[in-house]
Structure 1
């Protein structure tokens, strides 16, 4: 099995607020475990954002990407 490499990810979440909508983008780098799928990584990232920023809970993900961090 190939060695896992660090991946850069970003996610943008829109949540309603009293003035309309709040749109925040989040990013980070992680090294997925062997066998990780895009869906499981999406869910892991979303859970981490909700822990970091409770105002994001229940918001709509409007953008998400994950790519190997090496150029």
Structure 2
């Protein structure tokens, strides 16, 4: 089976300068007291660090939900 996953699943779609779309997804376990905005900003920065071409891109979709069915 897969390695341990975080408590929340998220995805982000970014319109990269030049017109291409990049979709990134993962799981995260937020620290107590964090807000959706806190997580959006944290995730956006992490994505930009891993994929520098997205730094000046526009987020066109983002969602975060509990990672369970």
Given the two structures, how large is their TM-score scaled by the length of structure 1?
Answer: 0.86
Number of equivalenced pairs:
64
Aligned partner of 1:14 in structure 2 is 15
The structure with more radius of gyration: 1
Return 5+ residue gaps in structure 1 as ranges: none
Aligned partner of 1:60 in structure 2 is 58
CA RMSD of aligned residues (A): 1.0
Moved segments of 4+, more than 2 Å: none
Return 5+ residue gaps in structure 2 as ranges: 1-5
Query: Which of residues 37, 45, 48 is equivalent to 1:39?
Result: 37
More strand by share: 1
Given the two structures, how large is their TM-score scaled by the length of structure 2?
Answer: 0.88
